[in-house]
Chain A
Amino acid sequence: MPPFEEIDNTADWAFRVSAPSIEALFTEGAESLYRMSGVQMEPASGKIRKILLSADDRESLFIQWLNELVFLLDRERLALHGIQIDQLTDTGLIASGHPAEVRSVGKYVKAATYSGLRITQTDGVWQATVVLDV
């Protein structure tokens, strides 16, 4: 199963992401968001960014995570590379990544939505489908 797959969606963008672990699903989710946005990045100097999030459940955490990256991209023109998931529970996430300078963005994402969102695990493969409002 490919880690990233774009899915047809009439108005917005949607993608399916697959990974062998829930931690990898979060890193692949971030990569997919950058890929969909056409982000061209260049490693930059600077301190490792740490991101701490809490939510009611895992799906909510996943959407918050993607929206955190949307915010950094829009507000600070910052992307993360070499993302590490340091700690992940059903309701909490600690992640870190190296700052990268964003050279260009192909398409602006308004937000990651909950529409049709489900995180599943089948035969050892974790999968999530996300609709991005663009």
Chain B
Amino acid sequence: MTVKHDFQKVKEFLWELPASHREDMQTAVWIVADDELLEDALGDLSVEQAMNVASLPGLAGRVVVMPDVHQGYGMPIGGVMAAKMDGGMISPGAVGYDINCGVRLLSTSLVWEEVESLISDLATVLYHNCPSGVGEKGSIPLSTEELDRVCREGSRWALRKGYATRSDVERTEEEGCLEGADPQQVSPRAKERGRGQLGTLGAGNHFLEVDVVDQIFDGNAAAAMGLREGNLALQIHCGSRGFGHQICTDYVQSFQSAVKRYGIKLPDRELVCAPVESPEGKAYMGAMKAAANFAFANRQLLAFHARRSFEEVLGAKGVRWELTQVYDIAHNMAKIETHTISGRKEKVCVHRKGATRAFGPGFEGLPPVYRALGQPVLVPGSMGTASWVLLGTQGSMELSYGSCCHGAGRVMSRAQAKREIRGEKLRSELEHQGVRIRTGSLPGLAEEAPRAYKDVDRVIAAVCGAGIGKKVARLRPVAVIKG
């Protein structure tokens, strides 16, 4: 059993579990945390799962764990690993079932006090216009050929169809389109699921949230993002829906025999993998990119529905409004990137599962408006607590393969939350705090209660203290829409 004593403190907010800790570990595990968050990480199987990842062959360097870490399956949620292109592995389970689950933030020039009386109506209309819950109701049905186009083009498909603005696309990670997506590597049954789910929020921990910009920490960066204190903003948290889930299911299944073919020994079957450059690895990468592009298009369509909702509620009252995209970023993805590791530039396959890309200033792939600042990092909190906007830093490039945290991180099991928290009571508590709730499932709401999560402010203090993120703005929720 691993205990706190097994960790060495590298510096404030950074801990190392050396590779010598377990015989099969190939590399060290670094955890970004304060003392309390490290104790939290040791409270479930997070650390053991990170050690399992550190035992994979062909890792380019240490495994990094974010302070919002919690137990997942295979790789912990909040884990980052970098696999060598030659001899390293790509693992569907280390990306997750919800491929390109991510967050989109849109800013407005609406002043909270001036529109407060309309927010309840806005929440109701957002709930009705953004299809949520299980299944396909309200989706944009696609033929197989059109779905293939979505897979190849992502947000660009949405732009072509009139669901996006050029600025939306420019302010999306990879401009909302991963090159090399290969719909031919996607199974017919994944396509069956995907065809009927584009433009839907789904259920679970996905949401839309209307926020007020509560506090600004970096005026220059906030201005570039269009975030002004006291103004409204909108967050969208969603992924690739059943399409991505089925792709992951298919590849986790088919890789079960690939590991035998390549003679790979695994501590956890959910970590099944194949060499990055193998036919199996390339097939998964092509399919994963297809799901990632589907997810970019999906969040774009939800933004389109959100704009319809703003028009229905605010436009109808003569209130001028605009939803301007700040950024859209994935937190479940594998990508080929170049990083400096042990003083050498190396092309690696970075897996981020419940971790956000957080590139520092100067990265050419960022839209011009952010290039000198660094990449916006979007960190949603839990329903009743703050969300944060950060910037990627030079420190994140050096320490965590250009990665940062993705949320608050669960600390209470869903089963315990269901036992201890009543959805109806939670809803009235949140409403009392000024957070309007629209949901299709009160038990689902209870599972996502704020006290089931870590203190997001503490998580942010840890990533900023470790130097992998820089504070820009804090948001507080005024309306939450859940499936």
A interface with B by C-beta (< 8 Å): 6-13, 38, 55-56, 59-60, 63-64, 67, 70-71, 74-75, 77, 105-108, 110-111, 113-117, 131, 133-134
Q: Separation in Å of the A78 CB from the closest CB of chain B?
A: 11
* Beyond A8-B416, A70-B249, A75-B242, 13 extra complex contacts between A and B, CB < 8 Å: A9-B415, A10-B46, A10-B71, A38-B443, A74-B242, A75-B196, A105-B134, A106-B444, A108-B203, A108-B204, A114-B74, A114-B270, A114-B272
Q: CA A60 – CA B245 in complex, angstroms?
A: 17
Choice from B72, B196, B444 contacting A12 with Cβ under 8 Å: B72
Instruction: Answer whether A131 and B203 are a contact pair too, CB < 8 Å, given A75-B242, A115-B270.
Output: no
Of B229-237, B252-260, B338-346, the stretch lying at the interface with chain A is: B252-260
Q: CA A115 – CA B246 in complex, angstroms?
A: 17
Q: CA A105 – CA B193 in complex, angstroms?
A: 17
In the complex, which residues of chain B have a beta carbon less than 8 angstroms from the beta carbon of A60? 253, 256
Q: Are the CB atoms of B249 and A6 closer together than 8 Å?
A: no
Q: Does B16 contact A (CB under 8 A)?
A: no
Q: Are the CB atoms of A115 and B97 closer together than 8 Å?
A: no
Q: Does B77 contact A (CB under 8 A)?
A: yes
Choice from B98, B133, B189, B441 contacting A75 with Cβ under 8 Å: B189
Q: CA A111 – CA B248 in complex, angstroms?
A: 9
In the complex, which residues of chain A have a beta carbon less than 8 angstroms from the beta carbon of B269? 59, 114-115, 117
DSSP class of A's interface residues: helix, strand, loop or mixed? loop
Q: Does B281 contact A (CB under 8 A)?
A: no
User: Please, could you name 30 A-B residue pairs with CB atoms under 8 Å apart, sorted by A?
Assistant: A8-B416, A9-B414, A9-B415, A10-B46, A11-B70, A11-B71, A11-B72, A13-B414, A55-B253, A55-B256, A56-B257, A56-B260, A60-B253, A60-B256, A63-B253, A67-B253, A71-B193, A74-B135, A75-B189, A105-B134, A106-B441, A106-B444, A110-B242, A110-B245, A113-B252, A113-B270, A115-B269, A115-B270, A133-B97, A134-B204
Q: CA A117 – CA B74 in complex, angstroms?
A: 11
Q: Separation in Å of the B96 CB from the closest CB of chain A?
A: 8
Instruction: Answer whether A77 and B135 are a contact pair too, CB < 8 Å, given A114-B252, A134-B414.
Output: yes
Q: CA A106 – CA B245 in complex, angstroms?
A: 18
Instruction: Answer whether A115 and B268 are a contact pair too, CB < 8 Å, given A10-B44, A77-B135, A110-B245.
Output: yes
Choice from B134, B202, B413 contacting A9 with Cβ under 8 Å: B413
User: Which B residue's beta carbon lies closest to that of A117?
Assistant: B269
User: Which A residue's beta carbon lies closest to that of B77?
Assistant: A11
Q: Are the CB atoms of A108 and B415 closer together than 8 Å?
A: no
B interface with A by C-beta (< 8 Å): 44, 46, 70-74, 77, 93, 96-98, 133-135, 189, 192-193, 196, 202-204, 242, 245-246, 248-249, 252-253, 256-257, 260, 268-270, 272, 410-416, 441, 443-444
In the complex, which residues of chain A have a beta carbon less than 8 angstroms from the beta carbon of B196? 75
In the complex, which residues of chain B have a beta carbon less than 8 angstroms from the beta carbon of A74? 134-135, 193, 242, 245
Q: Are the CB atoms of A75 and B193 closer together than 8 Å?
A: yes
In the complex, which residues of chain B have a beta carbon less than 8 angstroms from the beta carbon of A105? 134-135
Instruction: Answer whether A67 and B135 are a contact pair too, CB < 8 Å, given A10-B413, A114-B73, A133-B73.
Output: no
In the complex, which residues of chain B have a beta carbon less than 8 angstroms from the beta carbon of A133? 73, 96-98, 245
Q: CA A134 – CA B269 in complex, angstroms?
A: 19
In the complex, which residues of chain A have a beta carbon less than 8 angstroms from the beta carbon of B272? 114
Q: CA A115 – CA B196 in complex, angstroms?
A: 29
Q: CA A56 – CA B259 in complex, angstroms?
A: 12
Q: CA A63 – CA B415 in complex, angstroms?
A: 22
In the complex, which residues of chain A have a beta carbon less than 8 angstroms from the beta carbon of B413? 8-10
Q: Are the CB atoms of B73 and A12 closer together than 8 Å?
A: yes
Q: CA A35 – CA B83 in complex, angstroms?
A: 39
Q: CA A133 – CA B249 in complex, angstroms?
A: 11
In the complex, which residues of chain B have a beta carbon less than 8 angstroms from the beta carbon of A70? 249
In the complex, which residues of chain A have a beta carbon less than 8 angstroms from the beta carbon of B443? 38, 106-107
Q: CA A117 – CA B268 in complex, angstroms?
A: 9
Q: CA A113 – CA B49 in complex, angstroms?
A: 14
Q: Separation in Å of the A48 CB from the closest CB of chain B?
A: 21
Q: Separation in Å of the A64 CB from the closest CB of chain B?
A: 6
Q: Separation in Å of the A63 CB from the closest CB of chain B?
A: 8
Q: Separation in Å of the B366 CB from the closest CB of chain A?
A: 31
In the complex, which residues of chain A have a beta carbon less than 8 angstroms from the beta carbon of B133? 108
Q: Are the CB atoms of A10 and B192 closer together than 8 Å?
A: no
Q: CA A101 – CA B410 in complex, angstroms?
A: 34
In the complex, which residues of chain A have a beta carbon less than 8 angstroms from the beta carbon of B135? 74, 77, 105
Q: Are the CB atoms of A67 and B249 closer together than 8 Å?
A: yes
User: Which B residue's beta carbon lies closest to that of A114?
Assistant: B269
In the complex, which residues of chain A have a beta carbon less than 8 angstroms from the beta carbon of B98? 110, 133
In the complex, which residues of chain A have a beta carbon less than 8 angstroms from the beta carbon of B96? 133
Q: CA A75 – CA B241 in complex, angstroms?
A: 12
User: Which B residue's beta carbon lies closest to that of A118?
Assistant: B269
For B96, B204, B245, which residue has the most chain A Cβ atoms within 10 angstroms? B245
In the complex, which residues of chain B have a beta carbon less than 8 angstroms from the beta carbon of A8? 413, 415-416
User: Which A residue's beta carbon lies closest to that of B260?
Assistant: A56
Q: Separation in Å of the B444 CB from the closest CB of chain A?
A: 6
In the complex, which residues of chain A have a beta carbon less than 8 angstroms from the beta carbon of B93? 113-114
Q: Separation in Å of the B482 CB from the closest CB of chain A?
A: 12
